[in-house]
Amino acid sequence: MGKIRKTAAVTLAAALALAGCSSDSGTSTKNAGTGGAKDDKSPITFTMFAVDPNTNYENMQSPVGKKITELTGVTLKIDYPVGDPKQKIALMAASGEYPDLIFAKNDSNLIVDAGGFIDLVPLIEEHGPNLKKLYGDYLKRLKWSTKDPSIYFLGSFGVNEVQWEPKDGFQLQHQVVKELGFPQLKTLQDYENAIKTFKEKHPTIDGKPTIGLSLLADDWRIAQSVTNPALFATGGSDDGEWYIDEKTMKPVLHITRPEEKEYFRWLNHMNDVGLLDPESFVQKYDQYKAKISSGRVLAIIDSKWQYREAEQSLLQAGKPELTYGMYPITLNEKYKNKNFQSTGYSAGWGIGISKDCKDPVRAIKFLDWLASDEAQILNNWGIEGVHYTIENGKRVISKEEMEKRVKDPQYGKKTGIGVYGYPFPEYGFGVKDPSGQTYKVDSPEQIIEKYSDIEKEVLSKYNAKMWMDLYPKVSDFPVKPYGAAYQINIPQDTDGAIILQKCLELMRKRVPEAILAKPEKFDEVWDSFQSELERAGVKKLEAQFEELLKERIKLWNS
């Protein structure tokens, strides 16, 4: 969802302008036809800008990519950002030159304010039967605001998704918990004890120094591994930079909460006693993944999608015991981990069609086809006879093919499976197609089947069948009436956008500084950081965001 860059900061900076759409067929909007995407299979290339890099993108040269082009005539040319995507998005808005399709996430407001997106409502009404079926009653959540009911982009998260696996957590290697006799793992103290005990017994792994806990602070990824976990460990739900009080719906920038100060005091302590990787705040993402792949990192705190490739490398190397379990660790037993709290359907960002697209009808038909049963099965299961077979009317993946899916980090790139899911329109995990099978391959049974033997052993010792069994249940919490707060756009021409940017810059500098400080200096550094946030205008930012939150709740629940 894949999870994902979650800041609403806005930076206006120069970058190269993106080209507009190109068409090999010369098909115009007027003569594009009114049938499904397959009515016109003449070759057409749509350019697209997407803020989330996809390491599996294969230029539509995989079997699934080629099949999509064969069925629709469409080729996608996707541009992913090298540096800060806000720079390209800002220049697009300033120059007025756009690619066909744009996935801008929290910077979509820049494109909307500049008039860069077209309203999709008429196109969906005339050419979007699959989209209407997919989103159903959630179509109203795609509206921009109560004042502007236009739909500028299609929601990118799986519709009606059932969550079966934790998305974020505190990871610990299976070998650690097994050797220590499967200790209680509920609090930060439990977590620390396990890391410390194992590291003392095994100062090296494969001849290299054992690393206790490694974090990732590379650019925006600091939120996933360093700052957001403070929110999760102190009873907060995943709302990006925000903590929302469930009773009052009052938001605060979560890094200002006193509870989180104590989480960072614990990280400061972990650094002081030598259990924190000293390279945590200087290593790049590739270095971090390589370090995990070496098997010598006992613990990480991260989102699953960030370290999945490294785990696949370990599985491919025949070292499942060096992969990780996910535990709902909290500051103390007073707090509940809200990983499974439901957001309802989060529709705050997605793919839009730009005003420069030469054939918006063909574009919406393609997006509508991607929402069809045919495309959903192709994107998730692959090609019949190649990646799965039909037995007794059911899709079946062979043991050999499933092993490739689980262990090969390049599986998506080689096959194209999963490449054209997120951020395109898609059904969520657990949603069934007309045959009674799920659109996505994963089901509780499939997930359990894919677990390694040591993973199953660890779970059984904790009286669980799946990792979700260790976490508080979805029914323990109310459904969030606003979805996910990180999807609420702060208009870029407001004080709030500027203040948030200042706050995030302070956070990226001061949080590592506080963690690496001498313990006796921690309070001084932290309190100084909080004072800087106050001077930057954090209260004014929170007041503005509260109004935006109220607007979202009204739009989605009226």
Which residue bears the tokens 């045919």?
Answer: 374
Beta strands in 11-54 (DSSP E): 44-50
The answer to whether residue 414 scores a pLDDT higher than 90 is: yes
pLDDT for res 106: 85
pLDDT for res 520: 98
Window from 30-39, 79-88, 386-395 with minimum mean pLDDT: 30-39
CA angle 242/120/7 to nearest 5° reads 20
The answer to whether residue 85 scores a pLDDT higher than 90 is: no
CA 408: distance to chain centroid? 21
List, for residues 55-78, the tens digit of each pLDDT value: 899 999 999 999 999 999 999 999
Tokens of 134: 């997919």
pLDDT for res 32: 33
pLDDT for res 489: 84
The answer to whether residue 148 scores a pLDDT higher than 80 is: yes
Distances from the Cα of 164 to the Cαs of 231, 358, 363, 442, 481, in angstroms?
21, 41, 33, 9, 21
Window from 27-31, 244-248, 303-307, 374-378 with minimum mean pLDDT: 27-31
List, for residues 153-177, the tens digit of each pLDDT value: 999 999 999 999 999 989 999 999 9
Window from 155-169, 271-285, 520-534 with minimum mean pLDDT: 155-169
Name the pTM for this structure: 0.81
The answer to whether residue 403 scores a pLDDT higher than 70 is: yes
Neighbours of 524 (CB within 10 A): 12
pLDDT for res 39: 67
Distance between CA atoms of 303 and 314, rounded to whole angstroms?
17
List, for residues 15-34, the tens digit of each pLDDT value: 323 333 333 333 333 333 33
Neighbours of 282 (CB within 10 A): 11
Average confidence (pLDDT) over 449-457? 95
Window from 78-82, 123-127, 262-266 with minimum mean pLDDT: 78-82
In the beta sheet, which residues pair with residue 205?
208
pLDDT for res 22: 36
412 and 406 Cβ atoms separated by less than 8 Å: no
Distance between CA atoms of 439 and 427, rounded to whole angstroms?
7
pLDDT for res 19: 33
pLDDT for res 18: 30
Q: Is 537 left (phi over 0), alpha (psi -120 to 50) or beta?
A: left
pLDDT for res 21: 38
The answer to whether residue 47 scores a pLDDT higher than 90 is: yes
pLDDT for res 491: 86
pLDDT for res 84: 81
pLDDT for res 12: 28
List, for residues 99-118, the tens digit of each pLDDT value: 999 999 989 999 999 999 99
Between 534 and 35, the higher pLDDT residue: 534
pLDDT for res 558: 79
pLDDT for res 26: 33
How many helices (H) and strands (E) in the chain? 21, 15
Tokens of 418: 């999963």
Average confidence (pLDDT) over 347-369? 96
Q: Which of 55, 50, 171 is nearest to 102 (CA)?
A: 50
pLDDT for res 5: 35
Distances from the Cα of 483 to the Cαs of 5, 110, 265, 345, 557, in angstroms?
16, 21, 31, 6, 11
Tokens of 13: 């900076």
Tokens of 10: 């806005």
Q: What band does 434 get if pLDDT is binned at 50, 70 and 90?
A: very high
Which residue bears the tokens 């009286």?
Answer: 463
Average confidence (pLDDT) over 424-438? 94
Give percent above pLDDT 90 in the chain: 85
Average confidence (pLDDT) over 529-544? 98
User: What value does the mean pLDDT of the chain take?
Assistant: 91
